[in-house]
Amino acid sequence: MLAVESVPAPAVSPPKQSLPHGACDAHSHVFGSFDRFAPSQASVYALPEASPEAHEAMRAKLGISFGVLTQPAPYGSDPAAMLHALRAAKGRLRGIAATGPDIDDETLADWHAASIRGLRFVEMRAPGGGRYPGSVGVDALRELAPRLRELGWHAQLWANAADHAALLPGLLRLGLPLVLDHMGCPDPARGRSDSAFAAILDLMRSGQIWVKIAICRVSRAAPFYEDARPLHEALLEAAPERLLWGSDWPYVRLQPIPDAGRLLDLFHDWTPDETLRRRILVDNPSKLYGFGAASGEAA
């Protein structure tokens, strides 16, 4: 068993405005408990003590009904910790796993029964330029695509905007829904006029991709994140029906550590239209992940 350097999971503040019934946090992670679910890969960061119980408490404090867990790289292709959280959530969580083409169909079927609904593929590089240990690159997606289509799953992509602009035209031919992490990772210094970000906006308008709003991963101006606001507004203008909101809790490799409640306050302030807020927080994730948004119960 690998030795684990851990830190407490970050606290959250309740948002100033109540969220619509059925709201979803479409991007977060669970870690541990480490005596039961130790990482399978050496980590380049300290691991938060973000157990399923801590995750549930975080959602409750924010007023979040549903959530989507993304497999963190230290667990590699072993989703045991995430599966434990999904099964305990009784339909209120979905999961995005990570695996290579050697996975067998029986395991994929078991994951589907446990509420996994997609796989994550990573082209973003770790500090130093190499891949994050445990991550799976887009090359594996091309081989896995027929099996994802059969399951009705989507592919979740983490790459910078320039790589997205280069990769997406080819990946769209695979016939899968594609979901971009962290606003497509544009450069806030280049703003909304950057050609790579413009290509992402065009694909959103055509209804071919989904994008997760996560300003804390894009901004270089914490804790107010004003450099991300033009990007946020451009996404809203392009295709609000293709947007999801994600907290990215528990915030590995981020200083200062964000507060999910304050991120929701900014989302409220930067998205003044109540109908659009409900679409992004409730309707869109219900459509993509199969949550029962109208009743607040799992579909």
d(CA 246, CA 67): 9
Q: Are β-strands 297-298 and 291-292 bridged in parallel, bridged antiparallel, or unpaired?
A: antiparallel
Whether 25 is catalytic = no
Show the beta-strand stretches assigned E in the chain: 6-8, 24-28, 47-49, 66-70, 93-97, 116-122, 154-158, 178-180, 209-213, 243-245, 291-292, 297-298
Angle at 174 between CA 135 and CA 188, to 5 degrees: 55
Task: Write the CB contacts of 250 (distance below 8 Å, at least 6 apart in sequence).
Answer: 9, 10, 28, 29, 31, 48, 50, 54
| Calpha distance 299→188 (Å, rounded) | 37
Choose the catalytic residue: 25, 78, 181, 248. Answer: 248
Task: Supply the residues annotated as catalytic.
Answer: 248
